[in-house]
Structure 1
Amino acid sequence: MSTLISEIDARTRLAGANQMELLLFHLGTQELFGINVFKVREVMKLPQLTRVPEADSRVVGMANIRGTMVPVIALKRSLGLGEHDVDLARPDAKENGILIITEYNASLQAFHVAAVDRIIRTSWSHIKTPPPLVRENNKGAVTAVTMLDSGRMVLILDVEKLLSDICPRPDEEVYAGVTTKPELKQKTVLYADDSAVARTQIRKALEKLGLQFVQTTTGKEAWDYLQQLARHSAEEGLAQVQHINMVLSDIEMPDMDGFTLTKQIRSDPRLAHIPVVLHSSLTGTCNQDKGRQVGATDYVTKFDPKLLGETVMRYIN
């Protein structure tokens, strides 16, 4: 366990070259799951939990992690894969599983799993979006899949989707302070994000600002769309694409990550003038530094609609 934790602490500082690292784990079923190491802050044995009255049934309690109260989510129950063999909040349940501590939106949450396996490094080009029917059957919780050399499939989970299902927020609260800007009416944003939750959030924020938009689900899809626009612009005798005023991109995406997308945009004279804002739940400074290295205009942490709107206003003109 200590070796695995050391690996995670070191590897969360890595970023670049269309590579990702997955922490693989089990839920006591035959499936093998994965989560991006960038999201992981710690892996630890199950500590003593304190129940929270009237909490969502998927939140089995809170753990005191060095003075921070962290909600613990029963991942097996959340994914509809059955119940745990023991009450996780019982004092004698400490040997029953592992906690994966993750960070999202500048807050910590813990996922209870049966066991961790190992960390693998792979290319984003090997991470594939599952078919629509699979995504619908899993209510969007499985955002991508990849294959191990052994031929075994790994199901990669969408942390944003899991958390939004457990703790939904009304639009009036989420988008408070975001108002329509008439000067943005003729502006168009191309955004790329593989999370269904994130795409919905971005769409609603852009609609409230009064922007037009084009939605894509991967960096590769966004790149293909931009290349198509570039060809059309050339046919019209234009040296640069005029139809897109900003690109808003997640970092973690199948087929092509946000860093690679940004780098390719900057290397194409027909597209290099377009502002590119990276929009990610990865809050580490190493990711912001990497974004600057590949030519990103700015970096905005998910999901703050007001900050996103201010950033759009700053650069889109």
Structure 2
Amino acid sequence: MASVLDSVDQRTKLVGENRLELLLFRLQRGSLFALNVFKIQEVQTMPKLTSMPQSHPHIIGVTHARGRTIPVIDLGAAIGLGPLQDRTNCNIIISEYNRTIQAFMVKSVDRIVNMNWEEIMPPPKGAGRSHYLTAITKLDDQLVEVIDVEKVLQEVSPYNTTVNPDVLDQELVSRAQGLEILAVDDSTVGLAQVRETVQQLGVKLISASDGAMALKMLKGWADKGIDVPKKLVMVITDAEMPEMDGYRLTREIRDDPRLKDLFVVLHTSLSGSFNEAMVEKVGCDGFLSKFEPDKLAITVQNRIKDYLDPNT
């Protein structure tokens, strides 16, 4: 199965065209789940694991691969389906999220599919497993559920959103009170991380859960005669989102004369080197890896300085 990912580098051409590839897998019998191929480094049959005393209950052990020790998470248990009872012939998916490497144990890996983000819909509102989904889609009349890995990882190992006091420019913070930033992210955890960080800067956060929603919001303000680049200090957008990804959102902003001067930063868990190239391709003003509160705070403060004193 590892060979199915050998050409992942060639797939970068899909991104920026509002397209993605999903790795489909099963956690129990029946339902299909998915992760974006760009987050995945390797798929293996279940290796022998070393136990980790006093670890989170969803971490079933560690494996050794690519010269490092990697925790293995029972993904079914982590999203509320219960632990996988039969580990015979199951798989692990080694992935990179937010600068960390971890593996997810799944019952079986199905295949990779090429899709358009417009085919990927936000999950329905409600209780249950929807809390652990960022999106859903249909394939061959079967529902495919895209897992919110950021939420899973937040629960296994909570992120710290506190900005180092040495990073905060208190004079600037006092001047920033009431300024507005638009954050776009399909993960509730991702939005919460940004909100908790920028609130320490005195900034008000407006949020949208996907690029299509954000673009509708921006164009709606412009249609009312609002000078959107003056209204917003900046837009902070995730890359992967249902209906419209962050790359397509940036292109749409640049193509609208009323919005083109907005300051846009890509904020994503995808690999840095890849996104640095995409930033230039689609016209973003910057790129930040998730999740580093100090770096996010520095980027926002630098932008606030330029926003408040454009001629300095």
SS at match of 1:274: coil
Question: Which residue number corresponds to residue 106 of structure 1?
Answer: 99
Question: Which residue number corresponds to residue 36 of structure 2?
Answer: 36
Q: Amino acid of the residue matched to residue 77 of structure 1?
A: A
C-alpha spacing 1:290/1:169, structure 2 compared with 1 (3 Å): closer
Distance, in Å, in 2 between the alignment partners of 1:3 and 1:251 is 26
Q: Amino acid of the residue matched to residue 33 of structure 2?
A: F
SS at match of 1:248: strand
Distance, in Å, in 1 between the alignment partners of 2:160 and 2:302 is 27
Distance, in Å, in 2 between the alignment partners of 1:2 and 1:201 is 33
Contact 2:124 2:130 in 1 (8 A): no
Q: Amino acid of the residue matched to residue 35 of structure 2?
A: I
For each residue in 1:94-119, what CA deviation from the matched residue of structure 2 results, as whole angstroms up to 9, or x when unmatched?
x5311101101211000001111111
C-alpha spacing 1:20/1:5, structure 2 compared with 1 (3 Å): closer
SS at match of 1:245: strand
Question: Which residue number corresponds to residue 285 of structure 2?
Answer: 297
After superposition, where does 1:238-317 map in structure 2 within 5 Å?
A: 241-316=229-304, 317=307
Establish whether residue 53 from structure 1 lines up as the match of residue 46 from structure 2.
Answer: no
Deviation at 1:183, TM superposition (A): 2.1
Q: Quick one: which of 224, 239, 248 aligns to 1:232?
A: 224
Contact 1:15 1:286 in 2 (8 A): no
Deviation at 1:73, TM superposition (A): 0.3
Question: Which residue number corresponds to residue 21 of structure 2?
Answer: 21
Deviation at 1:10, TM superposition (A): 4.2
Q: Quick one: which of 144, 152, 158 aligns to 1:168?
A: 158
Q: Amino acid of the residue matched to residue 65 of structure 2?
A: I
Question: Which residue number corresponds to residue 122 of structure 1?
Answer: 115
For each residue in 1:127-160, what CA deviation from the matched residue of structure 2 results, as whole angstroms up to 9, or x when unmatched?
1011210xx3226211110111x21110000110
Question: Which residue number corresponds to residue 155 of structure 1?
Answer: 145
Distance, in Å, in 2 between the alignment partners of 1:297 and 1:191 is 15
Distance, in Å, in 2 between the alignment partners of 1:314 and 1:175 is 15
Contact 2:163 2:297 in 1 (8 A): no
Question: Which residue number corresponds to residue 193 of structure 1?
Answer: 185
Deviation at 1:76, TM superposition (A): 1.7
Distance, in Å, in 2 between the alignment partners of 1:310 and 1:169 is 18
Distance, in Å, in 1 between the alignment partners of 2:12 and 2:102 is 17
Contact 1:9 1:42 in 2 (8 A): no
C-alpha spacing 1:196/1:29, structure 2 compared with 1 (3 Å): same
Distance, in Å, in 1 between the alignment partners of 2:10 and 2:45 is 19
Identity of aligned residues (%): 37
Question: Which residue number corresponds to residue 73 of structure 2?
Answer: 73
C-alpha spacing 1:297/1:170, structure 2 compared with 1 (3 Å): closer
Question: Which residue number corresponds to residue 137 of structure 2?
Answer: 146
Moved >6 Å (runs of 4+): none
Distance, in Å, in 2 between the alignment partners of 1:268 and 1:66 is 45
TM-score, length-scaled by structure 1: 0.89
Deviation at 1:273, TM superposition (A): 1.0
C-alpha spacing 1:310/1:170, structure 2 compared with 1 (3 Å): closer
Contact 1:39 1:282 in 2 (8 A): yes
Question: Which residue number corresponds to residue 310 of structure 2?
Answer: none
Structure 2 stretches lacking a partner, 5+ long: 308-312
C-alpha spacing 1:291/1:101, structure 2 compared with 1 (3 Å): same
For each residue in 1:139-182, what CA deviation from the matched residue of structure 2 results, as whole angstroms up to 9, or x when unmatched?
6211110111x2111000011000111112455xx433364511
Distance, in Å, in 1 between the alignment partners of 2:197 and 2:215 is 23
Q: CA RMSD in A?
A: 1.9
Deviation at 1:7, TM superposition (A): 3.9
Contact 1:143 1:158 in 2 (8 A): yes
For each residue in 1:27-84, what CA deviation from the matched residue of structure 2 results, as whole angstroms up to 9, or x when unmatched?
1321100001111111111111000011111100000113200000011221222332
SS at match of 2:131: coil
SS at match of 2:223: helix
